[in-house]
Every structure is written in C-alpha cells, then in structure tokens.
Chains A and B, each alone.
Chain A
Amino acid sequence: MSIVDLEAKIPNNVGLRDNKRLTMALEKWQPKFLDWWNTVGPSDFNKHDIYLRTAIGVGQGGWAHFDYVKMPDYRWGIFLADGPADRKIHFGDQVGEAAWQEVPGEFRNRLRRLIVTQGDTEPASVEQQRMLGHCCPSLYDLRSLFQVNVEEGRHLWAMVYLLQTHFGADGRDEAEAMLERHSGDVDNPRILQAFNYPVTNWLDFFCFTAFMDRDGKYQLASLAESSFDPLARTTQFMLAEEAYHLQTGENGVGRIVKRTGELMAEGKDPRTVGAIPLEVIQRYINFWFTGSMDLFGGEDSTNAAESFANGLKGRYRESDGIYKDPKALNANYSLEVPTEDGKIEKKDIPLRRAMNAVLLDAYIADCRRIVDRWNRDLEKTGVSARVYLPDHKFNRHQGIYAGFRFTPQGELIDEATWTHKHTEWLPTQADRDYVNSCMVKVTEPGKFANYIAPPAQGVNNQSLDFEYVKFH
C-alpha cells in the first residue's frame, strides 16, 4: 500500500504523511490487523452494510460521521485530542515541569507496559463478542455491537500508534503480539484474566459494556492525565468514543431490567415468555461488576504509587484541580482490611500507594449511579423489586480481599457458607443455559426480542425501525 493509500485509508491528525517511520510500521501492521479482524473479529458480518459512526477528525462533530459501511472497510483512524502546546505536568514528583512530548528513557519500560496492558484489552473484547451477531435482539442492537467492535478496534490502533511512534523496535514487536494473543486461548491468552471470560449472550454483553468498559473509562481517564502528552491526548479522544460503549451497556441492562419489570407488573413469570428473571440479572450484575473491580489492581500497590510519583497515571479528573495536593504526599488513605480472626479493620496506608483504590472508589460511585437509574425504571413499571450493586469486597480475586469470602452485602463469611450460598449470588450453569435459550435472533427492523425493551430513541435521530444493518 502506498503512502497515499494509507492516508486515504487512515483518517488522522498525527501527520502520518510526513512520518516515514510510522508509515512503514503501519504498512506492515495494517494487513495483519485486517487479517486479525477477518479471522477473529465479528463472525459472518463483514459483507453487510452497517450504519456506523466513523471518527474523521477531532473537531466539533468530526468524530460523529454516520454512514453505511462494510466493517472491513471501516476507516480506523488515529487521533490525538487537541491540547495546549505548553502543557505542564500537573501531578506527581515533577509537577510544574513541561509535559513530555517524547518518552523519557527512565520510564520507557513502565510506560510501554501500561500501554500494552491497556491496548491488549481492546482487541480482546472484540474477540469475546464475536459470536453475538448471530443472536441479536434487534437490528438496533446489532448495530450497537458492531459500533462498539469497530471502535475497540480503533482504540487498538491508537495504542499501536503510540507503540510504533515512541517505542522503537520493541514497540513494533508489542504491536504484533497484541494481534497474536487471543481471548480465552489456553496457550496465548489476553493479559488480563477478565478479558478471557466468555461473552456468550447479550446480557453478558450489556453487563460487559456497562461494567468492564466502565473500568476502561477510568483507566483511560487516569492515563489521560499522563505527563506523556501523546498518551494523554490519545486517551482523551478515546474517552469520547468509550462513552458510547458505556451508554450501550447502561441502556442495554436497563432495557432488560425494564422489560422484566413490565412483565412482572403484568403478573407474568418472565421464564414463561422468554424473558430473564430479576434474580438472574442480579447474578450477572454481581459477576461482571466484581470481575471489573479486579481490573483495578491491588488496593495497596507500590506499582500504583510509582506510576503516580512518576507522573504516568493520575487520579480521575486530576487536571480539574479537584484534589488538594497534586503530589499526594503526607496524606493517608483508609482501607477496610480483613484480619485473620475474621474481623474487618481500618488500616491507613500512604495515599500514593492507594491510587488504585482511589480510582476504584470513583468507579464504584459511577456504578452506583447506573444501578439507581435501573431501579428508577423498575419503579416506573410499578413493581417493588429492585436490583443492587454488591459490596466491593464480594467475590474478589485480586487485591486485599482476594482469598476471603464475603456476602454481596459485605459480610465476612467462612468457606462452608460460601460453598453453600454462592449459587444464589453468582450465575450458575442453569442460569447461563436459560439466558442463552432466550437469545432469539430478531432482524426485522423495529422489532425487539421479548426479553428486552426498545430503546427510548434511535441512533443519530433515526427512527427505531430504521434499517441499521442491511442484510443482502
């Protein structure tokens, strides 16, 4: 592919035309990416015309260009958000100094690791979701799935851009390795365990986008504060797209909850009409919410302290000036720590070491907000049942609560109680079988599967019966 072709194929604001090294790297990587997309991307939908949003610029409306496009022809672009030329470092040990336009040698490996770990999640979710198109509840939702998929693909591009531009030969090797690892592959899995879980039905998908992508939002937000300016500006732009994915998840779970509420209000047992009982939805929420918390890393983490001290990862909305001390020194953070004798104690640790916990707290508050919203919709249907967000200590496999058993209410319990009760709290095989049995494929414009309520409105001011995906 010539440089001119690349320019046309890859919308960008990073001067791709003049960047010989990047052009050469992309010429090699881009065909491998397409290969990856065709092999493990969405199964069977590469020839369909899909009403997709493509980012073509960072200005007003530039990232919301809608048109029919076949997915392999989607123009995966590279964009950095606009930012001041003289941006200053605003947290950590080097606060006040100029932000870095190039990677400082001393932080090179750490930064690369952060970018690779983030980047690895992007193609992973596409792989996890590849079979969902075959059982879509509507054309509207099918389009949403593919929108999420192509944008996760673009986020991979964004991370690959950073690796290829700033990390030399190692960066190019890492870019290739991201196409070689595969979700759930026993021998070559994705780096983070939650990205190897199967996503087999749309309740999984919506929970995934509501909770896991929301973790992604918070990770991106902390990188968007980075002293490494290209990383900060890349992730700022990714956040705009990520917001749509969170909406898809928040609305998706909300619509399933609402539908179940409506059926209950009508006196119907959801199980008799192919809908999903509230307690099953609750178990899915429990599973995905707790899995997403494990992605934040240990609550007490020397790694997190170093990333903050070095100015690589900031706190959520650090640049808005909402924190008193940009160095986060001389302050403690209180953690609830389980003790050997079965109690919970408060323990103060230096704030910097608690940066993962600080980010996690912001995330949990956000999750609480969406659950409240789902409950308001439930209330409107007239039923008294509610869903809830489990305690942050429940079902954890990473961090200070790993190895202990808690109820969803946060009560410390013994192994025997857990063994006896956990099927009430986490999806069982029977739950999965049942939810999978509800997955009927609905492709008639304007129609929706019976387990999910229609959305409040269509995409880009189109009607709900718009033909979001054209089957040929």
Chain B
Amino acid sequence: MTDFHRHPDSYHHWKLQIDGDVAHLWMNVDPEHPYKDGYELKLNSYDLGVDMELCDAVQRLRFEHPEVRALVVGSAQERAFCAGANIRMLAGSTHPFKVNFCKYTNETRLSLEDLSINSGVKTICAVNAACAGGGYELALACDEIHLVNDNNSAVSLPEVPLLGVLPGTGGLTRLVDKRKVRRDRADVFCTMAEGMRGKKALNWGLVDAIWPKSKFQASVDEHAKALATAAPKRAAKGISLPKIERQLLAGAKDSKDLAEGFRYSCVTVELDADRRKATITVSGPTGNQPKNGAEYEAAGAEAWALRCYRELDDALLQLRFDHEQVGLIVLQTRGDRDALLQVEKDLFANREHWLCHEILLHMARVLRRYDLMARSTYALVDADSCCAGAFLELTIASDRVYALDSDKVEFAVGPLSCGLLPMSHGITRLDNRFLAQPEQAAKLAKEMPTLNAADADENGLCTYLLDPVDWDDDVRIALEERVSLSPDALTGMEASLRFGGAENCDSKIFGRLSAWQNWIFTRPNATGDEGALTRYGAPEGARFDWRRT
C-alpha cells in the first residue's frame, strides 16, 4: 500500500519554516531519495514523493498553522528553482502511473490555490533561478510570481519543444485563463525551450515582479510581510493532524465472497479483484460531536467531520495508485442520518470559525477528488444507507444511483448542498444534476427535504428505483455489465458526462488538458521507440510521424 503520510520532521525534499504570520516552504529535493529506484532527482526536479510532501505542507499550513497569512514558495538550491517533473521518472513509468501522478500534482496545485482563494493565505513564488516546466506550473499556482532578474534565470514551459508532450499540471490553462497572457504570446512562450527572462517575462505577464539578485530574497520577504499584514487574521493556534490509521481486512468474509481490502475508523474498502470492483463504505458520526468552533478546536482531528473525510481521501488515493484493475467503485453509506445532519448544521452555523471553515473546505476537496476518479462510480442506497448531507452529495456525485424501493430508504438534503461543496467547475452537484431544471436544484437546496425512495426518484435523485425482489439480481447485473465495457472509453465518457455546464479554469485543467496530455502520452510521437519523450537524452533525436490528426 502506498503511504501518503508525511510530516515536516521527516521531509526529504522540503523545509517548512514558520516565522510569525509568514511561512516559507523551501524546495530542496534530495536527488538520492526518489520515490522509486532508477532515477536521480537532480536540479529540484520532482516525483510523487516530492509532491506528497508539498501536499502535506499545504494541508498543515491550513490546520496546524492558522497564524500564517502569507506563504513564500522558494528554493534552497542556488542553481535551480525547480526543473519540473523528473523526465526519467516519467519516461520509466507506466501510463496509468503517469496519469495518476499528473492528477495528484494537479490536485495539490489546486489545493494551493484553494489556500489563497478560500483560506486567505496569500502565496508568492520566489523564483531564484531556472524554473522550467512543472516548476513554472507550481509558480503559476501561486498568487504572485517573483523572478530574480540576473540576465540568466528564465521561466519556461519546454515540454512541447523538448519532450513532445504538454505541460501536465495546468500550465497551458493557467497561462491564458488565470494570468490572461495573450494567446499568441503564450504560443511563442510554450515553444521556446529556453523560456523568458527578466523584463520580457514581466512585460508578457509571465511573472508579476522582477528583482535584482542582491535584493531578491529581501524584496520578496518584505512583500510577503506586507501581504500577510493585509490578509485577514485566521487564528493563533491550530490543531495537529496525526497519521491516518489504516488496517488490512482479515481476508475471507464468507466462503463465497472472498473480500479483501482495508479499513479506517469511518471508511471501509472491500476489493473484489475478480469482479474488478471496490466497495467503499462510509459511515456517519457516532457519539458526541463538537457543536461549535471551540469544541472543534478541542476535538482536533478526532472530530468525525475531519477524520471521516481524511480517511476517504486516503482511500481514494489508494485506489488510484495501487488498484489500477478496479474499474468500478460501489459506494455505500451507513450511519445515523440525523446525527450526520446535525454535524453539518453545526458546521454550517459556525462556518465563519476558521477551523469549521477549513473542515468544510477539506470536505469539498475530498468530494472533488471523488468526482475526478477515473473509475465508474455507482451508489447503492438501501435500507441501511445514510444518504444524507454530504453523503448524499457523494451519492449523486456517482455515475448512477441505484435505490431500493422501500419505506425505510430515505434521502435527506443537507445544509451544505447549497454551495459549500462545489464541484471543480464551480457549481453545486444539484445544479450540475438538474441543468435542465435549475428551479429543481434551487428548491432542493433551499427546502432541504427528507424524501422517501419513491419521492427521491420523483425528484430526480435516483437512476433506478428497484423493487426489493429485483434488488440483488439487478444490482449484480448492473455491476457486471459495467465492468465489461472498455475501460478507456468509460473513462472518457464519464469525464465528459460528469461535469455539465460551463467550464472554468480548474475543470479545463482536468478535462481538456489532461485528456490531451493523456492522448499525447500514448502516441508514438511521444512514447514510441523513436518518440520525443523516449528519446529525450538518448543518443539519437526523435523521429515524428508528421501526419496531423
């Protein structure tokens, strides 16, 4: 199993330094500690292990260091800010790994943007030296990019001219959508391997400020201090995030159904290798839960609302990286609906409190991680289900909802569905579901009804309402049918259907860019024997099939 747990005390590649309300995150990648053997992480290039630490640092800034109001992402290496994702790692990785790696790094960068947009921590990227590819994409995810003006250090996106692939972490989209660099200039920049320096980079809008080398760090720090002072105060003291505990399931459940998998306190994942499916069961709160901000601070990471979603987050990542064969995720919810809704009501009422606010943002990110699973997702709603609040969100985030037609089945819309848990493209899951009837989405969000199965079906929340006599068989057939279809076609189809309505920068990054990137990654011009990525650094240059498609 992949261990996503990281802690600043044992980072190999970053140093998190907190000075009052300003944090510095220094990138200093240890070349000798790659995530897998077979390559060296030279010039602050990164791989999954490096990004796990970055992701951890951003998460800890949110929860453990609410005193921080500005973050400077810099490099502790004199010769390189960051050379981007390690090319040899990419060239030596399987296609699924590459795609999952890119998706994970994209989510990390979005979490960095989320830190600024929704938590108010302003971010500056201090580009002290060469900044290429994924290095510049990391910079693009910050609010401001400050570049040393030494006539030498450049920002660049050399993927197209050097590697025959695309910048895979949102570089192209952020260039034109976020920074609004003129499209023709972006075209020039993205085909110029050496990138752009100093004044020109500034004039073209590729960076926000340039400083002479002798004044660089001091100027950046001064600016960071000013941003921190102007940013709203969050809190003086945070909570700590302990390691997420996970256990393997003890083998056989019964003689017929050989289930394997793993479980946490609120989340269980059962794997069925033969049927290429994984069943995720999420469980609602039990016992006393915090009622307000102070109680949440006292409970820390033990509070169900944080613990459950941290566990779900880890489970989703496990499935992505370690269980490529799983084509279908079956979602089940369990627990007491009223208790769950009470937790959400309390969080909603206290949403101005920094920690409740962070917990809600975290829930939203985990739900988005679920939206972005490149697996089919079916939700089953039966008599034991806890289909309420954010668990209802998970349910309707799934590709299909199978509900048992029974009086014991209930769907309850909670207070968070009105916009606190937005999808990547910025709208609620209700809006996304009822594009043809926006009034229906608004009504459900406003009235927060609890509906029995038939009413839920009437209100458009079920795909299939199954009679108890048909339930077992119809569900079995539905699952078997789904996993028999082409996994590639399903991935593309699901990604297209899940996000209705208008796109935004975030959804383009995943939808458009990663679709192109994934296509290019598998094309001979990139990864064939004579492809540019394969041949990068090899004695012979690439040979292309010149036909445009």
Q: Which residues of A contact B (CB under 8 A)?
A: 93, 109-110, 113, 177, 180-181, 186-189, 191, 302, 305-306, 309-310, 328-329, 340, 350-353
**Chain A, Cβ-Cβ closest to B192:** A109
Of A93, A177, A340, the contact of B151 (CB 8 Å cutoff): A177
**Chain A, Cβ-Cβ closest to B197:** A177
Whole-angstrom CA separation of A172 from B330 in the bound complex: 63
Residues of B near A352 (CB, < 8 A) are 539-540
Do A328 and B539 have beta carbons less than 8 Å apart? yes
Q: Verify if B214 is at the interface (C-beta below 8 Å from A).
A: yes
- Could you list 28 A-B pairs, sorted by A, with CB under 8 Å? A93-B541, A109-B192, A109-B193, A110-B193, A177-B151, A180-B151, A186-B214, A187-B150, A187-B213, A187-B214, A188-B150, A188-B212, A189-B150, A189-B152, A189-B213, A191-B152, A302-B537, A305-B537, A305-B538, A305-B539, A309-B539, A309-B541, A340-B32, A351-B539, A352-B539, A352-B540, A353-B537, A353-B539
Residues of A near B541 (CB, < 8 A) are 93, 306, 309-310
Q: Verify if B194 is at the interface (C-beta below 8 Å from A).
A: yes
Q: Verify if B149 is at the interface (C-beta below 8 Å from A).
A: yes
Residues of B near A188 (CB, < 8 A) are 150-151, 212-213
Q: Which residues of B contact A (CB under 8 A)?
A: 32, 149-152, 161, 192-194, 212-215, 536-541
Which 6 A-B pairs have CB atoms at the shortest separation, nearest pair first?
Answer: A302-B537, A352-B539, A187-B212, A186-B214, A350-B539, A187-B213
Q: Do most interface residues of chain B lie in helix, strand or loop, or is the interface mixed? A: loop
Whole-angstrom CA separation of A309 from B150 in the bound complex: 31
**Chain B, Cβ-Cβ closest to A178:** B151
Of A109, A191, A309, A340, the contact of B540 (CB 8 Å cutoff): A309
Known pairs A109-B194, A189-B150; A329 contacts B540 (CB<8 A) = yes
Whole-angstrom CA separation of A188 from B213 in the bound complex: 8
Extra contacts, 18 of them, besides A186-B214, A309-B539 (Cβ < 8 A), are A93-B540, A109-B161, A109-B194, A181-B151, A186-B213, A187-B212, A187-B214, A187-B215, A188-B151, A302-B537, A305-B538, A305-B539, A306-B541, A309-B541, A310-B541, A328-B539, A352-B539, A352-B540
Whole-angstrom CA separation of A113 from B162 in the bound complex: 15
Residues of B near A309 (CB, < 8 A) are 539-541
A15 to nearest B CB, angstroms?
Answer: 30
Residues of A near B161 (CB, < 8 A) are 109
Residues of B near A109 (CB, < 8 A) are 161, 192-194
Do B539 and A329 have beta carbons less than 8 Å apart? yes
Residues of A near B149 (CB, < 8 A) are 187
**Chain B, Cβ-Cβ closest to A302:** B537
Residues of A near B539 (CB, < 8 A) are 305, 309, 328-329, 350-353
Residues of B near A328 (CB, < 8 A) are 539
B540 to nearest A CB, angstroms?
Answer: 6
Whole-angstrom CA separation of A328 from B538 in the bound complex: 12
Residues of B near A93 (CB, < 8 A) are 540-541
**Chain A, Cβ-Cβ closest to B31:** A403
Do A302 and B536 have beta carbons less than 8 Å apart? yes
Whole-angstrom CA separation of A453 from B481 in the bound complex: 93
**Chain A, Cβ-Cβ closest to B539:** A352
B266 to nearest A CB, angstroms?
Answer: 43
Whole-angstrom CA separation of A177 from B214 in the bound complex: 19
Counting residue pairs across A and B whose Cβ atoms lie within 8 Å, the total is 51
Residues of B near A181 (CB, < 8 A) are 151
Whole-angstrom CA separation of A93 from B149 in the bound complex: 37
Do B538 and A350 have beta carbons less than 8 Å apart? yes
Whole-angstrom CA separation of A180 from B149 in the bound complex: 13
Whole-angstrom CA separation of A181 from B212 in the bound complex: 12
Whole-angstrom CA separation of A471 from B212 in the bound complex: 41
Residues of B near A189 (CB, < 8 A) are 150-152, 213
Whole-angstrom CA separation of A180 from B199 in the bound complex: 14
Whole-angstrom CA separation of A163 from B479 in the bound complex: 66
B315 to nearest A CB, angstroms?
Answer: 36
Whole-angstrom CA separation of A352 from B540 in the bound complex: 8
Residues of B near A110 (CB, < 8 A) are 193
Whole-angstrom CA separation of A279 from B193 in the bound complex: 46
Residues of B near A305 (CB, < 8 A) are 537-539
B543 to nearest A CB, angstroms?
Answer: 10
Residues of B near A350 (CB, < 8 A) are 538-539
Whole-angstrom CA separation of A188 from B199 in the bound complex: 13
Whole-angstrom CA separation of A258 from B536 in the bound complex: 50
Residues of B near A180 (CB, < 8 A) are 151
Residues of B near A340 (CB, < 8 A) are 32
Whole-angstrom CA separation of A351 from B151 in the bound complex: 33
Whole-angstrom CA separation of A329 from B213 in the bound complex: 42
**Chain B, Cβ-Cβ closest to A328:** B539
B532 to nearest A CB, angstroms?
Answer: 11
Most chain B CB within 10 A, of A93, A302, A329, A350, is at: A302
Whole-angstrom CA separation of A140 from B194 in the bound complex: 44
Whole-angstrom CA separation of A189 from B212 in the bound complex: 11
Whole-angstrom CA separation of A429 from B20 in the bound complex: 40
Whole-angstrom CA separation of A62 from B154 in the bound complex: 42
**Chain B, Cβ-Cβ closest to A188:** B151
Residues of A near B536 (CB, < 8 A) are 302
Most chain A CB within 10 A, of B149, B152, B536, is at: B152
Whole-angstrom CA separation of A352 from B150 in the bound complex: 32
Whole-angstrom CA separation of A113 from B130 in the bound complex: 15
Whole-angstrom CA separation of A340 from B215 in the bound complex: 37
Most chain A CB within 10 A, of B215, B536, B538, is at: B538
Whole-angstrom CA separation of A110 from B193 in the bound complex: 9
Residues of A near B193 (CB, < 8 A) are 109-110
B209 to nearest A CB, angstroms?
Answer: 15
Whole-angstrom CA separation of A306 from B540 in the bound complex: 8
A275 to nearest B CB, angstroms?
Answer: 38
A24 to nearest B CB, angstroms?
Answer: 22
B479 to nearest A CB, angstroms?
Answer: 48
**Chain A, Cβ-Cβ closest to B200:** A173
Whole-angstrom CA separation of A80 from B546 in the bound complex: 37
B388 to nearest A CB, angstroms?
Answer: 55
Whole-angstrom CA separation of A50 from B151 in the bound complex: 35
A232 to nearest B CB, angstroms?
Answer: 20
Whole-angstrom CA separation of A181 from B197 in the bound complex: 14
B47 to nearest A CB, angstroms?
Answer: 18
Residues of B near A329 (CB, < 8 A) are 539-540
Whole-angstrom CA separation of A211 from B410 in the bound complex: 83
B537 to nearest A CB, angstroms?
Answer: 3
Whole-angstrom CA separation of A350 from B152 in the bound complex: 30
**Chain A, Cβ-Cβ closest to B213:** A187
A323 to nearest B CB, angstroms?
Answer: 14
**Chain B, Cβ-Cβ closest to A116:** B194
**Chain B, Cβ-Cβ closest to A181:** B151
A297 to nearest B CB, angstroms?
Answer: 13
Whole-angstrom CA separation of A328 from B192 in the bound complex: 28
A206 to nearest B CB, angstroms?
Answer: 29
B363 to nearest A CB, angstroms?
Answer: 44
Residues of A near B152 (CB, < 8 A) are 189, 191
B541 to nearest A CB, angstroms?
Answer: 5
Whole-angstrom CA separation of A347 from B32 in the bound complex: 18
Most chain A CB within 10 A, of B193, B212, B537, is at: B537
A12 to nearest B CB, angstroms?
Answer: 29
B259 to nearest A CB, angstroms?
Answer: 43
Residues of B near A351 (CB, < 8 A) are 539
B513 to nearest A CB, angstroms?
Answer: 24
A172 to nearest B CB, angstroms?
Answer: 14
A306 to nearest B CB, angstroms?
Answer: 7
**Chain B, Cβ-Cβ closest to A349:** B539
Residues of A near B32 (CB, < 8 A) are 340
**Chain B, Cβ-Cβ closest to A308:** B539
B250 to nearest A CB, angstroms?
Answer: 40
Residues of A near B150 (CB, < 8 A) are 187-189
Whole-angstrom CA separation of A36 from B110 in the bound complex: 48
Whole-angstrom CA separation of A367 from B214 in the bound complex: 36
A303 to nearest B CB, angstroms?
Answer: 9
Whole-angstrom CA separation of A416 from B204 in the bound complex: 49
A369 to nearest B CB, angstroms?
Answer: 31
Whole-angstrom CA separation of A306 from B161 in the bound complex: 13
